Amino acid sequence: MNAKEDLRRRFLLQRDSLDKMERRRLSEMIQERVISLDVFRSCKSIGNYSAIGSEVDTSMIARHSLMQGKSLAYPRLIDSSTMEFRLVRDTSLDLVVGRYSILEPLYSCEYIEPELLIVPAIVWDEEGYRIGYGKGYYDRYLARYDNALSIGLAYDFQVLSSIPRTSNDVKVDMIITEKRIVYTD
């Protein structure tokens, strides 16, 4: 097993072992940190993700974005290598189960390039690189649209000093955990 796959497996197990109530508590703390950022308050469009399994929840970020009149978008998989963001006006009406059983916007939702991206991962390093599920959608998206500010969300134990990476990996601008904000530039 390669090093990335080993880290992916170990940290997914560790994340999955978190008590449901603890996961909810930590997710709320992390989302409150995001919402309190000046850059969050000042941006007009947010690219959010639909949390699956034990990922940091993002529903509070979605609610605050819509309440503040921001454009809220979620990723939609276009093909086996491409992801784009689509505008969501109502998360209960505009999101449907898509590929990999992840909620994604209806195809009829308007295409948008958000100025702030919220990014998931299984494990991060302090330089902003991530190990996700291994399909590379976020890396390809971040490489194409590097003008957006990108924020990774994680429980603090998911952030290591370094992880293995390849030339295709793209880092985020900051990582937010329940304990800290890691600026990667």
Q: State the pLDDT at residue 146.
A: 86
pTM, to two decimals = 0.95
For the chain, the average pLDDT equals: 96
- Domain with residue 75: its CATH number is 3.40.50.10420
- Cα angle 74, 62, 123 (rounded to 5 degrees) comes to 70
pLDDT digits (tens, 9 = 90+) for 6-32: 999 999 999 999 999 999 999 999 999
pLDDT digits (tens, 9 = 90+) for 69-99: 999 999 999 998 999 999 999 999 999 999 8
**Integer Cα distance of 183 and 127 in angstroms:** 8
| Higher pLDDT among residues 185 and 120, named by residue | 120
How does strand 83-87 pair with strand 111-112? antiparallel
Q: What percent of the chain has pLDDT over 90?
A: 95
**Integer Cα distance of 12 and 28 in angstroms:** 20
Per the structure, the complete domain to which residue 90 belongs is given by 3-183
Residue from 176, 179, 173, 183 nearest 35 by CA: 176
**Integer Cα distance of 114 and 119 in angstroms:** 12
Quote the tokens at residue 75: 């990723």
pLDDT digits (tens, 9 = 90+) for 139-161: 999 999 988 999 999 999 999 99
Q: State the pLDDT at residue 185.
A: 80
Number of folded domains that form the chain: 1
Q: State the pLDDT at residue 138.
A: 96
Integer Rg of the chain from CA: 15
Contact 62, 48 (CB under 8 A): yes
Q: Does the pLDDT of residue 1 top 80, yes or no?
A: no
Region 59-77: mean pLDDT is 97
